[in-house]
Amino acid sequence: MARKMDYKNIKLVGLTAKISPELGKNFTILSEILSTYGVEILAENSVAKALNLKGYELKDLALKCDFIISLGGDGTMISVCRKCAKFSPFVLGIHAGTLGFLTDITMSEAPKFFSEFFSGRYEVEEPFMLDVILSKKDGEITHKIAFNDATIMRFKPASIAIVDAFLNGKFFNSYFGDGIIISTPVGSTAYNMSAGGSIIYPLSEVFALTPICSHSLTQRPVVLPRGFMVEFRAYKDEILVLDGQDTFKMSSYESVKIGLSTTKARLIRHVGRDYFQILKEKLRWGQQ
């Protein structure tokens, strides 16, 4: 059973971060803020090494700490959620620079946010992730999780990706072109959007299949509900890329099955976070 957030009794907070020249200063600021609430920060190994502190494995932080701070950009937060999916920790994304789609709190806003948080004024969003099940011909199964998307794409620039799709065991489609993106709702504003896929509200229980530069104008994005599994097979040099971070050769596997997982991320948000306002600001909607 997933742990519940007990904001009144938080003692340990994990920290993972993108290594940058500002890391030391930001760590000091966060340590000073949290210490006023009786909270200690434990640093993930790479952060600890950069700051000459005692370090911990990320999975140990997920088990030991009340929540994990991801300090950096959206990519840092995605990596934390994927690697810790088994433990389903609470994750707070703090952007060290400007506003991100996922990391909507900046360092300058941290004092105000924690003041509200430790008064019980916060929200937790639980977007669904993707189950990615890779099957070899000898029966070996590998299970992975994707936060934003799983993309099957051509490996060589001059080649064409050919991907067959089977929906709940029945042949569904053949995709010819640069590949196909399988996106979560929260990932719909990433690669999916750039390929012409729909923007989907992050807490929706659906996932999207979006062709990349299809060689047929009749190939269009498709949105499917939770409970559907799509099996993909590719036969040449196509690769599978998860969240732009992990890569697998499709030729090494008989197939890969992808669908919306029962596993969710648990993202700590400030009260009143307006997803559509973020869309307007990031995509400059309404501006001429």
| pLDDT tens for each residue of 19-47 | 999 999 999 999 999 999 999 999 999 99
Which pLDDT score, from 0 to 100, does residue 284 have?
Answer: 80
Where do runs of H (alpha helix) occur along 151-286?
A: 191-194, 275-283
Half-sphere exposure (Cβ direction) of 169: Cα atoms closer than 13 Å = 1
Question: What does the alpha-carbon distance between residue 3 and residue 63 come to, in Å, rounded to a whole number?
Answer: 10
Whether residue 75 is annotated as binding a ligand: the answer is yes
Which pLDDT score, from 0 to 100, does residue 100 have?
Answer: 67
Which pLDDT score, from 0 to 100, does residue 98 have?
Answer: 56
pLDDT digits (tens, 9 = 90+) for 78-111: 999 999 999 999 999 999 865 567 887 899 999 9
Which pLDDT score, from 0 to 100, does residue 2 have?
Answer: 59
Closest CA to 44 of 265, 34, 63: 63
Q: For residue 207, list its beta bridge partners.
A: 224
Residues 7, 120: contact at Cβ < 8 Å? Answer: yes
Whether residue 9 is annotated as binding a ligand: the answer is no
Query: Could you say which residues of the chain have pLDDT below 70?
Result: 1-2, 97-100, 288
Backbone angles phi, psi at 140, to 5 degrees: -65, 135
Instruction: Count CB-CB contacts under 10 A for residue 186.
Output: 26
Whether residue 190 is annotated as binding a ligand: the answer is yes
Whether residue 194 is annotated as binding a ligand: the answer is yes
Whether residue 149 is annotated as binding a ligand: the answer is yes
Closest CA to 91 of 22, 21, 186, 190: 186
Backbone angles phi, psi at 154, to 5 degrees: -65, 150
Structure tokens at 160: 């064409």
Contacts of 84 (CB under 8 A, 6+ apart): 58, 59, 62, 68, 91
Which pLDDT score, from 0 to 100, does residue 273 have?
Answer: 82
Structure tokens at 282: 């990031």
Lookup result for tokens 């993972």: 16
Strands (E), the chain: 12-17, 40-44, 55-56, 67-72, 90-95, 105-106, 123-125, 128-135, 141-146, 149-153, 161-167, 170-177, 179-183, 206-212, 222-225, 230-234, 239-242, 246-249, 255-264, 266-269
Catalytic residue selected from 6, 66, 74, 131: 74
Which pLDDT score, from 0 to 100, does residue 96 have?
Answer: 81
Rg (CA), the chain: 20
74 is catalytic: yes
Whether residue 219 is annotated as binding a ligand: the answer is no
Which pLDDT score, from 0 to 100, does residue 157 have?
Answer: 82
